[in-house]
Structure 1
Amino acid sequence: MRKTEEKIRVGIIGAASLTSGVLLKLLANHRYATIVLLASETQDGQEVGDIHRFLRNILDLKTVRYNSDEVIEECDVVFFSKPHGEFLEGASDLINKARKIKPKIKFIDLSADFRLKDANSYKEWYGFVHKDEFLLESAVYGLSEVYYQEIKKAFLIANPGCYPTCTILSVAPLFGDQLVDIERAIIVEAICGVSGAGRKPNERNLAMEVEENIKPYKIGIHPHIPEIEQELGLLIKDKISALFVPHVASFKYGMLTTTYLKLQKEMVFEDIVERYREFYKNKPFIRIRKKGEYPEIQNVESTNFCDIGIQIDKRTDICIIMGCIDNLLKGAAGQAIQNMNIMFGLDETEGLPFSNILRRVNS
C-alpha cells in the first residue's frame, strides 16, 4: 500500500485530446495525485484552461513539448492519450529507457497500441506494423474487474477500448464459466454517442450528419473486434468469433451494447444473475439490473459504472445481455484512473464519481 501522504506525480502525453480533458477533470479532484507535466505537440505552450475550457481557474498549468528525460525525471505515472499508432515508437523508446533509469515508473496507454497480443494483428486492423513484441507481451490488459491482480504488479497497462469494455464486462461471467456456445459467432450490437469519434472533426461527428440520427458504421471491420475476440477467447479458453455492429447516435456521451448468446444449457434468470453476483463480488463499479430492468445511458453518464441487464428469450432460446457505460469514463479516462489506483495500492474508487460513498459501501 502506497503511503497516501505521498502524492502520485502524473504526466499526460497528448494532453489536448478529448479523453485527456476528462482525465484532467478526474485528476484535479484526486486526493493522492498531482499533475506535474502535460505534453502536447498540437497545443504546445498553451494554458490548459484554454484547451479544456471547463478547467479554467481549476488547473494553472501549461502544456510543454514532449521531452523523454523530463517525463522520466518528473513523473511516477504517465498516461498516453494519443491516436492509435501515432506515438507507438515514442512510447516504446520512453518505456524501455525509463525502465533502466527509474524502474518503478508506470505507464497507462489509452490507445490500442498495446492491447493486442498478436503483433501481426496491428497491420490488419490498424494499418501499422508493431515492432515491440516485448512490450506487447509485458503489457497487462487494463480491464480492472477481470485483471485486478495482474494490474497491481504491472508497469504498463493497455487501457481497453470503450466498446470492448462494455461488451466484455457485460458477458464475462458467462464466458468465464464456459457457458456460451461458441460454435457460431456471437452477435454484438452497439450504440455510442458522438464523443466516441474523438475531438478531431470528421464526417462521423459532424452535426448535420448525426443530429436526430443514428447510423451504423464499420460493420465487421471495426478495430475493436480483435480485442473483443481476444479477451473473450482467453476467458473461455478457446477461439471465438464476434459479429460486431456499431452505431453512432446523436447524443454526446455513453454507450449501450447488446450481445446475443446461445448458452450450453438451459438456464433461468436467477441462475445467471447469481453467477454475475459471484463473479463481480466486491467490484464497486458493476451494477446488475433486477429482472425485467434494463440499463440506460442516462443512468451511467458521468460515472464509472457499468450497468448490466439480462434477458432470456425462451421462444428463440437466446440469452440477451445488455451493458451500459459512459464511453469517456469507464470506457477510457475513468478506467485509466481506476487502473492507476490499483497500481499504486489505493482504493480503486479513489478520485472517481461517488468514491466517498463506494469506499464506505465496499469496505
Structure 2
Amino acid sequence: MSAFSLTRVTAVLVKEFTQLTRDRLTYALILLMPIVQLLLFGYAINNDPRHLPTAVLAQDNGAFARSTLGAISNSGYFDIVQTARTPAELDRALSRGEVMFAITIPADFTRRVVRGDRAQILVEADASDPGATGGAVAALAALPQQALSHDLLGAVAPVRADPPFEVIVHRRYNPEAITAYNIVPGLLGVILSMTLVMMTALGVTREYERGTMESLLATPVRPLEVMAGKLAPYVLVGLIQTAFILVLAKLLFDVPMRGGWGALSVGILLFIVGSLALGFLLSTVARTQLQAMQMSVFYILPSILLSGFMFPFRGMPEWAQALGTAIPVTHFLRIVRGALLKGLDFADLWPSLAALGLFVLVVVSLAMARYRTTLD
C-alpha cells in the first residue's frame, strides 16, 4: 500500500461533489432544516403569551366598569374580541376555544365600589393549557390597585388601604394546572404522526428500492385500490396505538375523560387516514428511504412546534398561527383536548372535524395524482 495520496483524496472529493448534484432533494432538505428551526424558535416560539383573546359580559356599563376593562386591555395580556350578552354565550365561547378568558362584571359593581362593599369581578380562564394562561393570571394580581387609581378621587376615594375590588379567578377544565392533562392528550397526535406518516413513507419507498413495486404496477390494480390495500393494515395499527395511549393516560396520569366520544372517534379515524395518505404521498415523491425519512421529519417538526403541543398556540405571532392552522395536528389536538378535558362533541368541534376531512380529501387526491404519474 502506497503512502497517503492527495490525488486519490481529490478523486474521492470530486466523486462526493458529483453525488451531491445527483441527490439535490436530500441535501436541499438538510440545508432547509436548520433554517426552518432557526425561524421557528427565533420568531414563532413564545413562552409568555400576550394579547390573548378575551370575551366580556358587562352587566354594569358605568365609568368604573369601563376603566377596569381598559386597564385589563392595557396590561397587554388580554385582547377583548367578544362581547357576550348572556352567561351561556360567554361560557360557550370559552368552551369552544374561541377565547381563552371570560370576564364578567356584575350589575352591582359600581355601587359596591362606591360603598366599599367588597366589589368583585369574575375572570374565567381556559386552563387546559396552564402555560398559556399563567402569565396573564399573574398579571391580574395588580389590577385592583391600579385600575381605578384615577377614578376614585375626592368623596369616593377609598378610606382604607384595601383594594377597591377583588378579582376572582376560576381556572376551568384544569383547575389544578396539571401539565400532564395538556401534554398527554396532545401526545396522541404527535405519536400517530411520527409513526404512521414515517412508517407508510418508508414502507412504500422500500418497495420501489427493492423493485417489488414494478410487479405491482404491471397488474391491473387501480391506484385507489393500491392505496386502500396498503393503508388498511396501518389503520388498525393506528387504532391500537390510540387505544393504548388513552388507557395509559387514564391509568398512569388520571387524565379526565369527560365525554365527546363520538366526535373524538371520527377525529381519530380522519387523522389516521390522513396521516397514512400523507405518508403514501411522500413515498411517491421520495426516491430513497433516506429521502422519505427526511421529508417525514420535515413535516413532523412544524407539527410539534406550531400545533400548540409544546408551546402555547396563542403565544405565536399571527403568521405562525396561520401556518399552524394549516397543519392537521393542530385541529386534531383541539378535538382530543376538547373532547377529553371539556366534554365537547360534534356541535362544538365540527370546525376542526371539517378541517381534518378537507385534509384527507386533498392528500388522497394528490397521492392518487402522483401515483398515476408513476404509472405513466
Task: State TM-score, norm by structure 1.
Answer: 0.26
| Greater Cα radius of gyration, structure 1 or 2 | 2
Larger RCO of the pair (alpha carbons < 8 Å, separation 6+): 2
If the length of structure 2 is used for normalisation, what is the TM-score? Answer: 0.25
| Structure with the higher fraction of residues in strand conformation | 1
